[in-house]
Amino acid sequence: MNRRRRIYEGKAKILYEGPEPGTLVQHFKDDATAGNGAKHEIIDGKGVLNNRISEFIFDKLNGLNIPTHFMRRLNMREQLIREVEIIPLEVVVRNVAAGSLCKRLGLESGTPLPRSIIEFYYKDDKLNDPLVAEEHITAFGWASPQELDDIMSLAIRVNDFLSGLFMGVGIQLIDFKIECGRLFEGDMMRIVVADEISPDSCRLWDIKTRNKLDKDRFREDMGGLVDAYREVAQRLGILVESENALATGPRLVK
Ligand code: UDP
């Protein structure tokens, strides 16, 4: 049925050749993985929700002149994106201590950080995505000093926007991960936000209850992942809260 050329398949997404040169189709799967693939499950409906939530966020970022690879959503599971050269870094911004930071530095989860912290992890599954310093990034040429400046400035702008967006719907943005890519336009190259931004790549806590509305529900075997993602989508106004939303799955608006 699928005659498009598959360019790349990752743990949660597939990239296909796009309809025009310089474009790709990003397909969201229902696969959830953790611990570098050690834990793997199919969670019905996750891909559809992440496609919608990521579309909503990237569309708003584009509107704020924060450049991204996102062009438009094509259908329930797919979006049209610009082809970029992915920089092999996971760029993590943290506002509150959680996850690997707590393990590494012995902090209690939930401790507010004195200021937002940006970290870089080198994307390499064989090495388990190790934490790296700016020195490694520039010495090994994964990104130039100028590119690293651009990446950090994008990360801070995304953090400011996302923190406010989620705060407005009663959710605290604990931390998140972005990936960046080089977008070539004629002789020009600029760094843009790529990949996805969704509850798979953010830690989102309900401000009042501290309930986790993100992938930690899967990592920590808490259950209720799709309900949590649906809750995020509903609060953002992407899904209409309908009486039988849980019985019928997400009801899409727009
Ligand atoms: N993250 C991600 N992909 C990864 C690793 C981390 O999207 O491969 C996100 C994660 O969801 C969290 C943030 O980056 O929002 C920081 O994750 P952390 O370093 O605490 O790692 P973890 O505890 O997930 O191992």
CATH number of the structural domain spanning residue 179? 3.30.470.20
pTM to 2 decimal places? 0.94
In a domain, 30, yes or no: yes
pLDDT confidence of residue 241: 73
Residue 46 shares a structural domain with residue 112: no
- The CA 91 to ligand 1 mean position distance, Å, reads 10
Residue 138 shares a structural domain with residue 69: no
Tokens for 230, please give them. Answer: 């649906």
Residue 111 shares a structural domain with residue 176: yes
What residue type is assigned to position 105 of the chain? Answer: L
Q: Which residues contact 237 (CB under 8 A, 6 or more apart)?
A: none
What's the domain range around 169?
85-206
- The model's pLDDT over 31-75, given as tens digits with 9 standing for 90+, comes to 999 998 899 999 999 999 999 999 999 999 999 999 999 999 999
- The CA 3 to ligand 1 mean position distance, Å, reads 34
- The CA 187 to ligand 1 mean position distance, Å, reads 35
- The CA 58 to ligand 1 mean position distance, Å, reads 19
Long-range contacts of 124-127 (CB under 8 A, 24+ apart): 124/88, 125/36, 125/37
Total structural domains in the chain?
A: 2
- The model's pLDDT over 72-108, given as tens digits with 9 standing for 90+, comes to 999 999 999 999 999 999 999 999 999 999 999 999 9
CA-CA distance, 73 to 52, in Å (whole number)? 8
Ligand 1, CB within 6 Å, residue ranges: 90, 92, 98-101, 129, 175-177, 201-203, 215
Residue matched to tokens 């229902």 = 30
Residue 103 shares a structural domain with residue 37: no
Is the four-CA dihedral 34, 57, 157, 67 of positive or negative sign? positive
Angle 51-120-67 from CA coordinates, rounded to 5°: 45
- Average pLDDT, integer, range 172-187: 98
Give the ligand 1 atom nearest the CA of 102.
20
- Which CATH number do you get for residue 44? 3.30.200.20
130 pLDDT band (50/70/90 cuts)? very high
